[in-house]
Structure 1
Amino acid sequence: MKTAVYPGTFDPITLGHMDIIRRAAHLVDRLVIGVTTNPSKSPMFTVDERLEMVKREVADVADGRISVVAFDSLLMDFAVREGAAMIVRGLRAVADFEYEFQMAGMNQQLNDDIETVFLMAGVSLQPIASKLVKEIALYGGDIGRFVTPAVAAQVRARVDEIGRKGG
């Protein structure tokens, strides 16, 4: 059974993430979506909230072959624990590639038995980034083209809690 891990912070999960998840699920027998922390990012949602959000969003895609798991460790250690043969990473632009290429190289140094596979986001989804979705929402913009209605509602509710920016 071929298993892959698709790691990310998913803060929040976007239509771009969902595109990669759907496509990656066709490439493997089992896809593990790893929801993690990233010390360089300021999350809008807790790990538990993101875990539930991702589970809800992939429920229709899951088909029993997708699991959603929180982790707070080296990606390669997590991949080994999950029995993964590959890491799936989504790419949007050249800037993504440079960062992801460096990460793939470091991960290969840690464990060269696990391959990194890059999937390009669909053309219409390439500009979408969680960071930008949060920024748009914080300034009162419409994020409905970038996330599902349920995620948009959850982001709006969080913005209402923490307060909008700008005037």
Structure 2
Amino acid sequence: MRVGIYAGSFDPITKGHQDIIRRALNIVDRLIVLVVNNPNKKYWFHIDEREEMILESMESQYRDRIEIHRYEGLLVDFMKERGVNLLIRGLRAVSDYEYEMCYAFTNKELSQGKAETIFIPASREYMYLSSSGVREIAINQGDISAYVDKGLEEKIKLRAKELVK
């Protein structure tokens, strides 16, 4: 069975993330969606909420092939613990490519050559989409319906209102 890991902060999960997850499932039999937590980063949503939003946003036909985990630390350490050597990364633009290539080379080196990275280019409609962009639109009371799952819209808008107070 081919297992891959798709890691991110997912703060919040966007339609772009969902698209990468669906497309990754064409490559792997099982996908670990890894919610990373960086103690130096300020998140809109607690890690529990981010895990819940991922589960809420994924269509039922994919849920039995996805595991949602959380991790704080080096990704290669999680990979080693789980016995998984395949990383899935989404690419939106050339600037993402430069960063992601460095990240892939570092992971390969830290894993003694075991970590492999597959890059999935963003679908055209999501090339410009990011969680930070969604947060910016939400905090300014803009329409985020094109960027996030309908079931998450209100949760994100409510959090934006709480943060503006």
TM-score normalised to the size of structure 2? Answer: 0.94
Measured in 1, the distance between the counterparts of 2:86 and 2:75 equals: 11
Cα 1:152–1:95 shift into 2, 3 Å: same
User: Does the 8 Å contact 2:56/2:151 carry over to 1?
Assistant: no
User: Does the 8 Å contact 1:136/1:142 carry over to 2?
Assistant: yes
What is the SS of the residue equivalent to 1:67?
A: strand
Aligned residues: 164
RMSD over aligned CA atoms reads 1.4
Structure 2: runs of 5+ lacking an equivalent: none
Identical counterparts, % of pairs: 40
User: Does the 8 Å contact 1:13/1:130 carry over to 2?
Assistant: yes
What is the SS of the residue equivalent to 1:87?
A: strand
1:64, distance to aligned residue in structure 2 (A): 1.3
Measured in 2, the distance between the counterparts of 1:27 and 1:51 equals: 23
Report the counterpart of residue 76 of structure 1 in structure 2. 76
Residues 101-158 of structure 1, C-alpha deviation per residue, up to 9 Å, x if partnerless? Answer: 1111110111111201100010011100000100111011111111111121110011
Taking the TM superposition and a 5 Å limit, the aligned residue runs for 1:1-167 are 1-39=1-39, 41-111=41-111, 112-163=113-164
Measured in 1, the distance between the counterparts of 2:30 and 2:108 equals: 21
Measured in 2, the distance between the counterparts of 1:78 and 1:60 equals: 26
1:61, distance to aligned residue in structure 2 (A): 4.2
What is the SS of the residue equivalent to 1:113?
A: coil
Cα 1:83–1:20 shift into 2, 3 Å: same
User: Does the 8 Å contact 2:55/2:63 carry over to 1?
Assistant: no
What is the SS of the residue equivalent to 1:90?
A: strand
Measured in 2, the distance between the counterparts of 1:151 and 1:79 equals: 29
Structure 1: runs of 5+ lacking an equivalent: none
TM-score normalised to the size of structure 1? Answer: 0.93
Further displaced range: 74-83 or 53-62: 53-62
What is the SS of the residue equivalent to 1:70?
A: strand
